[in-house]
Amino acid sequence: MRDAPAIPNRGLPTVFPPVGRFTPTGVLALAGLLAACGGAAAPLPPPADGVLQVVGLDTLDFDFDQYEAEPGEITIQYVLDGRQWHSLVIEGHEDHLRLEVSGGPPGVGSINLDAGRYILYCDIPGHREGGMEARLLVG
Ligand SMILES: [Cu+2]
């Protein structure tokens, strides 16, 4: 068993591919969205080893529906792929970690979590209601 098999490297999950995410329609919509930015979008910085990267999208979504991490101290790098202001908090742990992105550098923070199932969401008004949440499986 490799170390930390569940933490995605370079934004690609090694386990649990996104569910209902990269449909052809979704890919075309995303391509159209990126094209609409006039090619100004910079490539996303790769996360450091052992860092869980989460990408916030202006479609009020994260780049995956589910992320995984090992129990203990989890470092999250929150990257914006878009232009809006987004946050990332963990349901029930809002006081311990809150990352924000608005087009500047990635938000990076750490939190200690026991094994379990958690919900990531954006707490900007209306965003979670618009679908900006994802599962975080720890363990
Ligand atoms: Cu948001």
d(CA 92, ligand 1 centre) in Å: 18
In 42-66, which positions are buried (b, 16+ CB within 10 angstroms) versus exposed (e)? eebeebeeebbbbbbbebbbbbbbb
d(CA 81, ligand 1 centre) in Å: 11
What's the token pair of residue 50?
Answer: 């052992």
28 inside domain? yes
14 inside domain? no
d(CA 132, ligand 1 centre) in Å: 6
d(CA 104, ligand 1 centre) in Å: 15
Q: Which domain holds residue 102?
A: 24-138
Total domains in the fold of the chain? 1
11 inside domain? no
CATH of the domain at 117: 2.60.40.420
How do residues 37-72 score in pLDDT, each as one tens digit?
A: 444 455 666 677 889 999 999 999 999 999 999 999
Cα 90 to the center of its chain, rounded Å: 11
pTM over 0.85: no
Average pLDDT, the chain: 79
